[in-house]
Structure 1
């Protein structure tokens, strides 16, 4: 069974709990809005007061450990409930037999709400989508919300022989191990993220790959099918192409036509735009000398 090494999940969890589960108090005890639940109502994860240790996604292990030490002062019971609901989904269980129901207590405990017209999905364009949402603070990817921020780039699993959380040597998802703790988690939170979307929603796709839209992706297999037509009236696709790279697919391509058909069948309007200009500016920050960028000026 192929194995993957993880990074410090527990430290990341505690970092998140102390920073983002309500407002920060000087003594290190978060307070919780919403009457006992951890509620994220359009608040960007990763934007915390200056006296919180660390500052952004992707910080060093040293800063994560500092946050872990700070989190020891968290005495609100809901912090423990959230952590326990997460770990209980997979601890002491077969790492290849996790179910969506295992994560349901966590989903029920944490309420995620993104304002209408501000949801940004992505497929094979994670880096650019995050760069764009980081600049356009009104837009939210899944990783800008509470549960997405916890687990971004992390790997974890359980083992029937121990009650410990394993962060190293967890199995890859494959045909013999299709329900790993990590893959099922992302399926569940992606479904919830899509179900809560409203108004016009956006998806950033990669037109430099073989196909911009794939039904095998999380967006193509989970998110697009969990948009509620009574809440979402339009899906706006941005097909982005690498600066100086090859353009293999576009809004006129067959994969986008397939996406449009799926969306229209769900009674949701569809719009598509190649190389959305504001996102193109973000790409050009790193390649301002490229001819494709000079035409934007």
Structure 2
């Protein structure tokens, strides 16, 4: 009988642990993470930033959050950038962020800025009639206007609007279509480059030894056609190994990496 009671206790404890884990997954305290990340930037009222972000999705059907719901967040961020600093990317997540992390001050990706840093790598949604932030499997999947996709579409547009001077983009030379028309870079960012502000687009085509493509790729021709008149276009093929070596050498200037 004693053994049965011990086993029963273990089962109860295990069940409580499972419930606790499920609650942690579904009801996620997003605000502390958001505020902590926000405080790494100077000059922001982080409580206000949280309020403008949260109002976009809390209490809404998670499948019907439009991009413009995040307009107050964009306004509160009031983001601007120095000329020649912005780095765009597509299918080069790891290499581009390794580079900007090691070569601090050279370039900024969206995820390095106040627009994207607080939410990078996170998921969230609300529910109609609820004031709670949910996450993971409690949120819907790939609906067109889900809270997360709408956020990234909106902040990507704002990031592109801030582009000025010489703009750089790291694209993947190991895939057949480096400039994919369905990517955020193609469908949102490039279309918003303002020729009165953006002087040039410099494509860094990141390749391996067995590169699938090069700067003559047909999709890159499409990219050139998408650019507004007056924006110059340049492309250079650079191996990932060279970028990694260069980013680890503090004596090499930013632009000298390609």
Normalised by the length of structure 1, the TM-score is: 0.70
Which residue does 1:272 correspond to in 2?
Answer: 235
1:161 shift after superposition:
3.5
Which residue does 1:218 correspond to in 2?
Answer: 184
Residues 91 and 220 of structure 1: is their aligned pair in 2 closer, same or farther, counting only changes over 3 Å? same
Contact preservation (8 Å) 2:68, 2:154? no
The 4+ residue runs of structure 1 with deviation greater than 4 A are 5-8
Normalised by the length of structure 2, the TM-score is: 0.80
Which residue does 2:58 correspond to in 1?
Answer: 91
Task: Name the Cα RMSD after superposition.
Answer: 2.1
Work out the CA distance in 1 between the residues paired with 2:220 and 2:238.
Answer: 14
Match among 106, 114, 139 for residue 146 of structure 1: 114
1:12 shift after superposition:
2.0
Work out the CA distance in 1 between the residues paired with 2:101 and 2:188.
Answer: 24
Which residue does 1:68 correspond to in 2?
Answer: none
Q: Does 1:134 align with 2:101?
A: yes
Which residue does 2:213 correspond to in 1?
Answer: 249
Match among 219, 242, 254 for residue 281 of structure 1: 242
Match among 89, 104, 109 for residue 76 of structure 2: 109
Which residue does 1:57 correspond to in 2?
Answer: none
Structure 2: 5+ residue stretches without partners: 1-24, 247-256
Q: Secondary structure at the match of 1:274?
A: strand
Structure with the greater alpha carbon radius of gyration: 2
Instruction: Report the structure, 1 or 2, having the larger helix content.
Output: 2
Instruction: Report the structure, 1 or 2, having the larger strand content.
Output: 1
1:185 shift after superposition:
0.5
Which residue does 1:80 correspond to in 2?
Answer: 47
Structure 1: 5+ residue stretches without partners: 23-31, 33-37, 39-77, 286-295
Q: Please list the CA deviations of residues 231-288 of structure 1 after superposition, one character each: whole Å capped at 9, or x if unmatched.
A: 001000011113x5x422210110111111212x443110000116xx6434459xxx
Q: Secondary structure at the match of 2:94?
A: helix
Work out the CA distance in 1 between the residues paired with 2:229 and 2:97.
Answer: 27
